[in-house]
Amino acid sequence: MSTQVIVINGGSSSGKSGIVRCLQAVLPDPWLRIGVDDLIAALPPALTDAGGGIQVGEQGRVGIGEGFRAAETAWTTGIAAMARAGAHVIIDDVFLGGASSQERTRALLDGLDVLWVGVHCDAAVAAGREIARGDRVSGMAASQAELVHEGVRYDVEVDTSRSEAVDCARTIAAHLRERP
């Protein structure tokens, strides 16, 4: 398998994390999971409480500042270094900027074999999951359901409103096996 990085993009509560856990179980080699939530958890309070970082507003709208972008660039550069060092990495992300987010990520992963995966979920289904989870700002899932996919090009797409995480993972794994 020549793919070094799998980038999984989808909105909040779309089922990305469940798919990643299933992928780690079904893929033959060990794959590390690194997600945008890990980056956010690693940020200092100055980048989560102030205008230069990341803020979650009403209806779950997310605002991104220059401080967050700088941290995100360093984070993704580090992920790319791990892949170049031989690790297989799955990136669990939310492309709030759609195509521009993908292009930023693509530039930082330049030279690596990347599989781009879109995780779709009906906004109403994602909103229901958001309520059941209880750890998200209400409205985030619905506001991100389509936004994160605008202009993004994928190698494979799955829909968790209609398929279980393990079935989505098997679809992605099959696509990996079929790649030249």
Query: Encoding tokens for residue 152?
Result: 């993004």
Alpha helices in the chain (DSSP H): 16-26, 36-42, 66-84, 99-108, 123-133, 140-144, 165-178
Contact present, 160 and 14 (Cβ < 8 Å): yes
| 93 annotated active-site | no
Contact present, 82 and 89 (Cβ < 8 Å): yes
Give me the amino acid identity at 100.
S
Q: Which of 29, 37, 93, 113 is catalytic?
A: 37
Could you tell me whether strands 5-9 and 114-120 are parallel, antiparallel, or unpaired per DSSP bridges?
Answer: parallel
Query: Encoding tokens for residue 161?
Result: 């409103």
Contact present, 12 and 62 (Cβ < 8 Å): no
The residues annotated as belonging to the active site are 37
